[in-house]
Amino acid sequence: MIDWQPTSPWTGIDIPMCDGIVIVAEALSFARLRLLPGADFTGLPGPRQAQNRWLNMGPCEWLFCGNHCPRPDAIDMSDALVALSISGENVFDLLSAGIAIDWQRFSVGTCARMRLGETAVVLHRREEQQFRLIFGAPFARYLAEWLAHHV
Amino acid sequence: MSGARRPGGGRIDRNRPLCFSFDGRTLSGFAGDTLASALLANGVDVVGRSFKYHRPRGVFAAGAEEPNAVVQLEIGAYLSPNRVATEIELYEGLVAHSVNAWPSLGFDLYAINDRLSRLLPAGFYYKTFMWPHWHLFEGTIRKAAGLGAAPTQPDPDRYEHRHAHCDVLVIGGGQAGISAARDAAQSGARVMLVEASSELGGRALWAGDAINVDQTENLTILTRTTAFGYYDHNLVAAVEDCSSGVAKERLWKIRAKQVVIATGAIERPLVFPGNDVPGVMLASAVQRYAHGFGVAAGKRVALFGNNDGLFDYATAFEAAGIEIAAILDTRRGEEVIGVKGRKRVRAVQTSRGEIACDLLAVSGGWSPVVHLFSQSGGSISFCDKRQMFVPDKAVQQVRCVGAANGDFDLNTQPWQSRAKGKAFVDLANDVTAADVMLAARENYASVEHLKRYTTLGMGPDQGKTSNVNGLMLMGDATGRTPDAVGTTRFRPPYTPISFGVISGARVGNLMRPRKFLPAHGWHQTLGAVFEDYGWQRPDAYPQAGESLGEAAIREARAVRTSAGLFDASPLGKIEVWGSDAARFLDFIYVGTMSTLNPGRIRYGLMLDENGVIIDDGVAIRLAEDRFLLHTTSGGAERIAAMLDEWLQCEFSGWDVRVLDCTLQWGTVTLSGPNAIEVATALGLPVEALPHMHFRADQLGNVPVRVARVSYTGEATLEISVPARYVKSLLETAAAIAGVTPFGVLALDLLRTEKGYVHVGADTDGMTTPGDIGLGRAIAKKTSDFVGRRSLLRPACAREDRLQLVGLESANALPIGAHIMEGSNAPCPSGGFVTSTCISPTLGRPIALARIREGRARLGETVKLFDLGQIFEAKIVAPCFLDPDGRRLHD
């Protein structure tokens, strides 16, 4: 019989540290919700917005970040995705090395799919100088190396 | 040796002396010098040899327009070729070497080219060296061509990229640029000001005018930053030299609402015989070296020009202690008709007689730096009054100001030399006035043809001092105005940039993202050799003393005789659900999925609109309204996107949703005659699970999905669990006696033995289902599906298409070997080998191939050709092992 022992995607990967930047791997569950056009979107955020634990990912699509997704029709993606919290006074210098976004127009509470370096990520601005990066678990090592190179 | 440091003056720091070397000579300069100014201060007259004729050349200009002073900077891994000495800030220990001279700069054997110049006119390689054959000379000529040498070691320096946004981007930190930036900043806009040199001020710095910049929070100033490219949507690329920091260079990608170009203007030289002798310089450069760097480029100067600026220069030169030998103004009929001296000007021959001097400062008017404006898509036009090309219509949010806009008040009169002798238009590429005339005579009169035929403006300086003179000459020769001749479209980069800064961090592991399996570490502990298949996947698990190939054969045999364990986590897994899911999949697949019962599996092909196979895999019906599609490992994202596109564009009213769950589920394949037994021992729900059936269950708290489907030809279970549990599953299964982990190489051997198609290897951009023997599904299916219309064309039903078959041969056949449709090569190709191996099970070479009318030629012996070798093989059915499929069902 199998002794099921979960493996963390961050096993064997060093998360970089440096002055002025705090990078933390977040232990979160994820779920993707896809609805049909015309469905009831009550309680879900609008385009590129994040509310509570829901992030709008595009037309009729949301990502839940947290524990215990309240929607049974959402599909569990907890093993597919990982998240990093990146904060600190130098956070813009770090992220601007790989993300082509105007930080003045990307206000707190906003989220968007974008490219960091060569990888697709979801970026959520949680506070003025605090961001959450969500990306595919197989890219954890690449992202850690990318961040280590740039910090 | 004529140049010398003046006792005072300049913006250098005389308290910080610096040592550097040039061609092995140790020299000294000061902080604030450029390499060019330091070389002039040390009396170095000849800094390089010219591109074609190997004529001695000296420093000619003082900025990015320098055509002569090209050097190799540093050595070994830090070597940076073809750097312009005028753009290199001097630093302690700098090492530079001249280029294009052999064996030495002083004695260059290739200078014979100058004597043979009659054999080397523009386009000589189309006309001369033709007998007995061009290729006899080609090697020598190519070896002699080119400038510096590329480094042979990896670049150890670090480079960065940085994105930035602003309301107003001002390019150029001269007076006009500073003024524009200040005004914009005062209005509250976010402003960025980039300046190529180390200080703001431009010409005002060395003309003695006051510079005043109020630094404010909304004004970002980047010095040592050269904007080199202007792209759509007001995206400007700039390179910052930050060698004093962690990175050597930083590539800025700046998106601005509005761009102000204040890049100034470049002084034009005059074209006359001997205008390339060291000591002939742009007058503005002489002034800049004198007042910016405290360097007198000569002791006694003759000034030669066609505009009012000559007299200002004379005043400035006198103030710098340079004796004025003569002022020759073409507007008064005075002109230089020759220059005496080879490695340094000794005298100039003029219409007034010979004048002794060691420096000839020339001024032929000015050319606004419209490069970036032109790159932005803006048009430029020729201003007769000012004799220069100026910005005209903009197509992006951009405007030019100051000298870049042609805001001069100079009385300039065009002038062409009629004197005989080698007069250079393009010093960087050794293009003479005679070359331009030759191009005109041979009807290469278009400016684009002129450029390519003569190489005018194609040197590292991109013709900054030569293009306008060249096209004015062409205009004279063909009776056209400069406006009618026009200019070539300016293209990035404005100045040469390093490959390092283009690459940025994309080196080594960061070259492209590597995707790692959830159980990557476990594979490592087993000694897996990884290959990048989009994912880092084990090719094989070699044991001590075993090669990769031997390991793959051992692993494949273990699968055929016992049980193999394969990490198939990258297998595409797309969930499709909704009340219209079944009919949607009927449209997507060639086969019919709506008739599939829940818990059953069906193989399917996906086509594009041309009827070409783009992916294959199985569809599993999880429930009446829910399907799980297994796609190829590399195709998951692409296919999920394609399904979304169809839904959003064609079936937006259908109740269907799609989600790519590939990363959520890790998949382990158990394959072999003992696979079911092993799975049972693991406690998996596989009892009485027939081939092409599916079961989902919970083991403890872990959801498990088991699909009995095979890509090896053996009884196989594809077991999917949430990715975090894959390692546990692999570890436990591998611990069971008789279970052998196998990699991608063994999988390829196994599926080739069975004749299973690998989409992308056995198929290409022309392969239809009929070509691989799966045309029956099309014939049966009456409803529409993607690609159906194309497949119904007669061309897709022709029997002489390339059809998938097997090949048996005495020797292993190489992939790509062509079936010969004649007895001797060369002859037409009748198809080619797509997969090949020496079968571990059968012990002989086998191959898959796509051969013209292949299915009708079973049993025929054919010849194959590959890289000069000829092989023989017999055409057989593509399935070499267990054609009845008993192994799948046992």
Please indicate, yes or no, if residue A62 is contained in any of the structural domains: yes
Distance CA B646, CA B643 (A): 5
SS3 B317: helix
Residue B385 has what pLDDT? 86
Please indicate, yes or no, if residue A13 is contained in any of the structural domains: no
SS3 B796: helix
Q: Could you read off the pLDDT of B840-888 as tens digits, one per residue?
A: 999 999 999 999 999 999 999 999 999 999 999 999 999 999 999 999 9
Please indicate, yes or no, if residue A12 is contained in any of the structural domains: no
Cβ-in-10-Å burial (0-12, 13-18, 19+) of B795 comes to exposed
Question: Which B residues, 461 through 520, put their C-beta within 8 Å of a C-beta on chain A?
Answer: 505-506, 509-510, 512-519
Residues from chain B contacting residue A102 (CB–CB below 8 Å): 165, 255
Answer yes or no: do A79 and B655 touch at CB < 8 A: no
The total number of residues shown for chain A amounts to: 151
Q: Could you read off the pLDDT of A49-76 as tens digits, one per residue?
A: 999 899 999 989 999 999 889 999 999 9
Does the pLDDT value for residue B1 go beyond 60? no
Does the pLDDT value for residue B208 go beyond 70? no
Please indicate, yes or no, if residue A117 is contained in any of the structural domains: yes
What structural domains does chain B harbor? 4-144 (3.10.20.440), 157-264+366-408 (3.50.50.60), 266-365+409-485 (1.10.10.1100), 512-570+664-766 (3.30.1360.120), 572-661+774-787 (3.30.70.1400), 798-889 (2.40.30.110)
Average confidence (pLDDT) over B613-635: 97
When mean pLDDT is compared across A139-143, B147-151, B334-338, B431-435, the lowest value belongs to B147-151
Q: Could you read off the pLDDT of B657-694 as tens digits, one per residue?
A: 999 999 999 999 999 999 999 999 999 989 899 999 99
Q: Could you read off the pLDDT of B723-767 as tens digits, one per residue?
A: 999 999 999 999 999 999 999 999 999 999 999 999 999 999 999
Distance CA B201, CA B180 (A): 13
Which phi and psi (to 5°) does residue B623 adopt?
-155, 180
Q: With residue B584 as reference, give the H or E element that holds it.
A: helix B581-588
Cβ-in-10-Å burial (0-12, 13-18, 19+) of B682 comes to buried
Residue B804 has what pLDDT? 98
Across the interface, which of B161, B682, B727 has its CB nearest the CB of A1?
A: B682
Answer yes or no: do A100 and B163 touch at CB < 8 A: yes
Per-residue tokens: B243: 């060698």
- Best residue of A7, A35, A150 to probe chain B, by most B CBs closer than 10 Å: A7
Distance CA B555, CA B567 (A): 14
Chain-centroid distance, C-alpha B418: 45
Average confidence (pLDDT) over B800-825: 96
Q: Please confirm whether the linkage preceding B493 is cis (ω < 30° from 0).
A: yes
Domains held by chain A: number:
1
Q: Which residue has the higher pLDDT, B61 or B143?
A: B61
- Contact, A20 vs A26, CB < 8 A? no
Cα-Cα-Cα-Cα dihedral of B847, B852, B854, B857, to 10°?
Answer: -120
Average confidence (pLDDT) over B158-175: 96
Residues from chain B contacting residue A57 (CB–CB below 8 Å): none
Average confidence (pLDDT) over A33-59: 93
Instruction: Output the DSSP codes for B68-106.
Output: S-EEEES-GGG-EEEEEGGGPBP-TTEEEEE-S-SB-SS
Residue B32 has what pLDDT? 94
Rounded CA Rg of chain B: 36
Distance CA B860, CA B845 (A): 17
Answer yes or no: do A117 and B513 touch at CB < 8 A: yes
ipTM, two decimals: 0.97
Across the interface, which of B162, B516, B665 has its CB nearest the CB of A138?
A: B516
Residue B570 has what pLDDT? 98
Residue B782 has what pLDDT? 84
- Contact, B699 vs B680, CB < 8 A? no
Helices within B77-231 (DSSP H only): 112-115, 134-144, 175-186, 203-207
Answer yes or no: do B518 and A145 touch at CB < 8 A: no
Distance CA B1, CA B412 (A): 33
Distance CA B794, CA B783 (A): 19
Q: For residue B124, what pLDDT band results from cuts at 50, 70 and 90?
A: confident
Please indicate, yes or no, if residue A146 is contained in any of the structural domains: yes
Distance CA B333, CA B342 (A): 26
Q: Could you read off the pLDDT of B72-86 as tens digits, one per residue?
A: 999 999 999 999 999
Average confidence (pLDDT) over A26-46: 94
Task: Name the pairing type of β-strands B4-5 and B295-296.
Answer: antiparallel
In Å, what is the CA distance from B4 to each residue of A101, B44, B277, B279, B809?
51, 9, 18, 13, 80
Q: Which residues contact B21 (CB under 8 A, 6 or more apart)?
A: B27, B94, B95, B96
Residues from chain A contacting residue B505 (CB–CB below 8 Å): 97, 117, 146, 149-150
Q: What angle do CA A107, A108, A111 make, to 5 degrees?
A: 80
Chain-centroid distance, C-alpha B259: 26
Does the pLDDT value for residue B777 go beyond 80? no
SS3 B271: coil
Give the chain A residue nearest B537 (alpha carbons).
A138
SS3 B180: helix
Q: Could you read off the pLDDT of B437-472 as tens digits, one per residue?
A: 999 999 999 999 999 999 999 998 999 999 999 999
Looking up residue A89, the CATH number of its domain turns out to be 3.30.1360.120
Residue B209 has what pLDDT? 66
Residues from chain A contacting residue B575 (CB–CB below 8 Å): 75
Structure letter (DSSP) for residue B12? S
Answer yes or no: do A80 and B657 touch at CB < 8 A: no
Q: Which residues contact B782 (CB under 8 A, 6 or more apart)?
A: none
Please indicate, yes or no, if residue A10 is contained in any of the structural domains: no
Please indicate, yes or no, if residue A123 is contained in any of the structural domains: yes
Amino acid letter, A129: Q
Per-residue tokens: B756: 């299973």
Distance CA B362, CA B301 (A): 10
Residues from chain B contacting residue A7 (CB–CB below 8 Å): 518-519, 521, 724-728
Q: Could you read off the pLDDT of B571-620 as tens digits, one per residue?
A: 999 999 999 999 999 999 999 999 999 999 999 999 999 999 999 999 99
Which phi and psi (to 5°) does residue B801 adopt?
-75, 165
Domain with A30, as residue range(s), is 22-34+46-150
Helices within B210-323 (DSSP H only): 283-293, 309-319
Q: Does B661 touch chain A (CB under 8 A)?
A: yes
User: Average pLDDT, whole number, for chain B?
Assistant: 94
Q: Which residues contact B526 (CB under 8 A, 6 or more apart)?
A: B538, B541, B734, B741
Task: Name the pairing type of β-strands B48-49 and A22-26.
Answer: unpaired
Percent of chain B with pLDDT over 70: 99
- Contact, B33 vs B42, CB < 8 A? no
Answer yes or no: do A98 and B683 touch at CB < 8 A: no
Answer yes or no: do A9 and B518 touch at CB < 8 A: yes
Q: For residue B210, what pLDDT band results from cuts at 50, 70 and 90?
A: low
Q: Does B160 touch chain A (CB under 8 A)?
A: yes
Give the chain A residue nearest B722 (alpha carbons).
A79
Does the pLDDT value for residue B334 go beyond 80? yes
Residues from chain B contacting residue A105 (CB–CB below 8 Å): 165
Please indicate, yes or no, if residue A5 is contained in any of the structural domains: no
Q: Does B856 touch chain A (CB under 8 A)?
A: no
Which phi and psi (to 5°) does residue B647 adopt?
-65, -45
Task: Name the pairing type of β-strands B388-391 and B380-383.
Answer: antiparallel
Across the interface, which of B162, B658, B701 has its CB nearest the CB of A96?
A: B162
